[in-house]
Amino acid sequence: MAWTWRFEKADGTEVEPAVRPEEFTTQGDAESWIGETWRDLLEGGADRATLLEDGTEVYGPMPLDAES
Protein backbone atom coordinates (compact mmCIF):
# COMPACT_ATOMS: atom_id res chain seq x y z
CA MET A 1 0.00 0.00 0.00
CA ALA A 2 1.12 3.52 -0.79
CA TRP A 3 -0.38 6.59 0.82
CA THR A 4 0.00 9.88 -1.06
CA TRP A 5 -1.39 13.41 -1.06
CA ARG A 6 -2.94 15.42 -3.91
CA PHE A 7 -2.90 19.21 -3.60
CA GLU A 8 -5.33 21.71 -5.10
CA LYS A 9 -6.21 25.37 -5.25
CA ALA A 10 -9.58 26.36 -3.77
CA ASP A 11 -11.19 26.01 -7.22
CA GLY A 12 -10.07 22.37 -7.53
CA THR A 13 -7.13 22.96 -9.86
CA GLU A 14 -4.34 20.52 -9.01
CA VAL A 15 -1.04 22.20 -8.03
CA GLU A 16 2.50 21.07 -7.38
CA PRO A 17 3.23 21.31 -3.65
CA ALA A 18 5.94 23.60 -2.32
CA VAL A 19 7.18 20.68 -0.21
CA ARG A 20 7.35 17.46 -2.18
CA PRO A 21 5.87 14.53 -0.23
CA GLU A 22 7.08 10.99 -0.45
CA GLU A 23 4.92 7.90 -0.72
CA PHE A 24 4.10 6.79 2.79
CA THR A 25 3.71 3.20 3.98
CA THR A 26 1.00 4.02 6.54
CA GLN A 27 -1.89 6.44 6.82
CA GLY A 28 -0.50 7.66 10.14
CA ASP A 29 2.84 8.59 8.56
CA ALA A 30 1.05 10.52 5.79
CA GLU A 31 -1.11 12.37 8.31
CA SER A 32 1.88 13.18 10.53
CA TRP A 33 3.75 14.59 7.54
CA ILE A 34 0.91 16.91 6.53
CA GLY A 35 0.54 17.99 10.15
CA GLU A 36 4.17 19.09 10.09
CA THR A 37 4.17 20.76 6.66
CA TRP A 38 0.69 22.24 6.11
CA ARG A 39 1.87 25.83 6.68
CA ASP A 40 4.61 25.51 4.04
CA LEU A 41 2.15 23.90 1.64
CA LEU A 42 -0.37 26.69 2.17
CA GLU A 43 2.27 29.41 1.73
CA GLY A 44 3.43 27.64 -1.45
CA GLY A 45 0.02 27.91 -3.11
CA ALA A 46 -1.91 24.78 -2.13
CA ASP A 47 -5.28 25.48 -0.50
CA ARG A 48 -6.43 21.94 0.19
CA ALA A 49 -5.27 18.32 0.22
CA THR A 50 -6.75 14.91 -0.47
CA LEU A 51 -5.34 11.69 0.97
CA LEU A 52 -5.06 8.76 -1.44
CA GLU A 53 -4.40 5.08 -0.82
CA ASP A 54 -3.04 3.41 -3.95
CA GLY A 55 -4.67 6.15 -6.04
CA THR A 56 -8.11 5.88 -4.39
CA GLU A 57 -9.42 8.85 -2.39
CA VAL A 58 -9.62 8.12 1.33
CA TYR A 59 -10.74 11.58 2.40
CA GLY A 60 -10.64 15.16 1.33
CA PRO A 61 -10.26 17.59 0.00
CA MET A 62 -9.55 19.15 3.34
CA PRO A 63 -8.57 22.80 3.69
CA LEU A 64 -5.01 23.55 4.74
CA ASP A 65 -6.12 26.86 6.23
CA ALA A 66 -7.16 26.25 9.84
CA GLU A 67 -9.78 29.01 9.54
CA SER A 68 -11.66 27.30 6.68
Residues present in the chain in total:
68
Whole-structure pTM over 0.85, yes or no?
A: yes
Can you tell me the distance from the alpha carbon of 31 to that of 37, in angstroms, rounded to the nearest whole number?
A: 10
Per-residue pLDDT tens digits for 19-35 = 988 899 999 999 999 99
Closest CA to 5 of 64, 68, 43: 64
- DSSP helix/strand/coil, 57: strand
1 pLDDT band (50/70/90 cuts)? confident
Can you tell me the distance from the alpha carbon of 24 to that of 2, in angstroms, rounded to the nearest whole number?
A: 6
Can you tell me the distance from the alpha carbon of 9 to that of 2, in angstroms, rounded to the nearest whole number?
A: 23
